[in-house]
Amino acid sequence: MTDAMHDGKQKPSLRTANRRLALKLGGVTLAMFAFGYALSPMYDVMCRALGINGKTGRTDVQTVAAEPVDLTRTVTVEFTGLATSGLPWEFKPLTKKLELHPGETREVKYLVRNLAKEEITGQAIPSVTPGESAPHFKKIECFCFTRQTMKPGETREMPVRFVVDAGLDRDVQTITLSYSFFNIDKASAEKYGGTSLAQAGESAEHHDHVHSAPGG
Amino acid sequence: MSADHHAEHPTGLSRWLFTTNHKDIGTLYLVFAFTMAVIGGLMSLVIRSELWQPGLQLVDPHFFNQMTTVHALVMIFGFAMPAFVGLANWMIPMMIGAPDMALPRMNNWSFWILPFAATLLILGLFMPGGGPAGGWTLYPPLSVQGGIGTDFTLLSIHLLGMSSILGSINIIATILNMRAPGMTLMKMPMFAWTWLITAFLLIAAMPVLAGAITMLITDRHFGTHFFNAAGGGDPVLFQHVFWFFGHPEVYILVLPAFGVFSQIIPTFARKPLFGYASMVYATASIALLSFIVWAHHMYTVGMPMAGELFFMYATMLIAVPTGVKIFNWVSTMWRGSMTFETPMLWSIGGVFTFAIGGFSGLMLAITPADFQYQDTYFVVAHFHYVIFGATIYGLFAAIYFWLPKWTGHMYNETLGKWHFWLTTIGFNLTFFPQHFLGLAGMPRRIPDYALQFTEFNQWSTIGAFFTITAQLIFFYIAIRAMKGGAKATDKVWEGADGLEWTLPSPPPYHSFAVAPKIK
């Protein structure tokens, strides 16, 4: 009974020490919980600073014309697309992949067909992998720059005109461009069993840096 | 000694509900853990039965995916972690000469969260739309889209996390504040050391998982968009946050087992542990490194080359302290007077299978190779060699080692050896062919497969049934030893060394009420 405990009773000094340590460790726990949340903005900042989160850039014809074409190498660009569950559209690239020289302007088309019996408006969100190639993947024209409204049963071929600039790292030999097409109307998206852009995000402004920042 | 207080505790159900006694709580943890092991084991049999032949036979793919998901969650959070917290509860106070855990009431609470959490986890399977089916890693978008069963799972993981955080705080407070006079940190048994480091890993990593889970919940129900690309979020962010927890988690699972090996191998080699100090430093380095290697789980998300190189080299660096540990165990056995009782068999077997799992881990660490191995059965083989091969081997080793101390009875040594050998054969039969399946390109988490994979899958399925059947021997041995058998001596093992062996077998309900003197 000299030291620590008898019949479940700790000496007061030990009990205080234990409680104090437990509180400190609880503090560490809370701090690490906060750190988990802090990873989210940190990730955003890192991705933006390094340009590695797959957000594509934008450019125009004049700028592209002024840039050199790197004929010494070719890069494969693959295309894919997905209409999300709230959008009853058929959506696919008409070109699965192509090879190009960095600096060269190319155009591909995506096919969209509205399978519903009503008019629906959608918005495509692009993403490019690998992330490090995204800042070098620049679009001159894209159906993702604006919302697309489709009449019932309407079919449309939509163009993407783009350039991969010569600044692309030589290690990157294949780039994949992917689009997710979202319904922009909440009620309509729920009707088809999915979520809409506005529902998942807070506001449309949030995407501005994705598809309408001039000059990328 | 306070043997006269032996019977001073409530009996019946209230003893277990209200207990603050470290031995009672240790027992509760172990009983809970093995109950979950049975549930998780049966789920693995559902998986292996479906994979007996190509095509869809027994269960539909959605249910199959729920089984792979919940099997993992049950085994990790319901079996492996609680089992080792149970061992810590039983052994750490007796090993460091403390009368009980530092925070006995919190100890009761941290256990009694578990049955509720487990109930939620299992109930999720019975909700409309079923349980989570997107894998235990809970990657969005599937975990954001899942039905109400996913909410049950997320809440359950929150509770399981809280339980282990509370348990860890208790273990740290016990080890730092309650050691007997004279027991300096560098005189502590290795099991206490590995648990101290594990507990710090837990309070650093589990809250990050809690953050990720909370973000998933708010994404699902409260209109946030951390992981929803449509809302400007990024599913890859979840992978980063998850694996920031997930990689330390694998060391949380394995370090206490390393502690067990470090207790048992010297006992049966009849030599002190080789390189005690280097063992402590190696464990601490593994723990620190575990926080800077997380992205090796996600090489294929499209990271920049510099990132891939960094994570590859950092991961391979972990092989150095791990190699130190294996070297020390082997050197402890070198020229020792070895005998091969059941705990020693499990320990040597564990070191051996862990080495295989470690090497396949090194293969996976190589970025260009990982592009091929990612999400194949090679990964499944790798982590079962580590988690079953080291963690569960360590658990069985510990139970056979300390069971005579806990119950006061020797277990049946012959049956114990049978248990070891049958499990080892079954385990290797189950998982070794999966290496080849993975290298040949069979993806994980798919209920169907190409025809050429049939034979290896059938070996694997036979192995799984064999392994799980062999565990019946274990339950029989453990229950027999609890009920009676040859009386165990206080020291139990000839080469045993440590404070727990100075206590009677079984130890009195309150031990070390007077702190022992350490020379």
Does the beta carbon of B437 lie under 8 angstroms from any beta carbon of chain A?
no
Q: How far apart are alpha carbons B362 and A82 in whole angstroms?
A: 36
Cα–Cα distances (Å) from A215 to A46, A56, A138, A212, B141, in that order, read 20, 10, 9, 9, 31
Q: Which of A21, A32, A39 sits opposite B240 (nearest CB)?
A: A39
pLDDT score recorded for residue A4: 44
Contact B204 A182 (CB under 8 A): no
**Nearest chain B alpha carbon to A206:** B232
Does the beta carbon of B6 lie under 8 angstroms from any beta carbon of chain A?
no
ipTM, two decimals: 0.88
pLDDT score recorded for residue A202: 38
**What is the average pLDDT score of chain A?**
81
CB-CB contact of B474 with B396 (8 Å)? yes
**Nearest chain B alpha carbon to A197:** B230
Is the bond leading into B506 cis (omega within 30 degrees of zero)?
yes
Q: Can you name the residues that pair with A78 across neighbouring β-strands?
A: A97, A176
pLDDT score recorded for residue B147: 87
Q: How far apart are alpha carbons B220 and A191 in whole angstroms?
A: 18
pLDDT score recorded for residue A51: 67
- Ranges of residues in chain A with a pLDDT under 70 are 1-8, 51-58, 198-216
Helix (H) / strand (E) containing B154? helix B148-177
pLDDT score recorded for residue B1: 40
Helix (H) / strand (E) containing B478? helix B454-483
pLDDT score recorded for residue A216: 30
Look at residue B208 and give its three-state secondary structure. helix
For residue A186, give how far its alpha carbon lies from the nearest alpha carbon of chain B (Å). 12
* pLDDT > 90 fraction of chain A, expressed in percent and rounded: 37
Contact B231 A127 (CB under 8 A): no
pLDDT score recorded for residue B234: 86
Walking along chain B (519 residues) 10 residues at a time, the average pLDDT comes out as 53 88 96 97 97 94 95 97 97 95 94 97 93 93 88 96 96 96 94 97 96 94 84 87 96 97 97 96 96 94 87 96 96 96 97 96 95 96 97 98 96 97 97 96 95 96 97 97 93 94 93 86
pLDDT score recorded for residue A57: 66
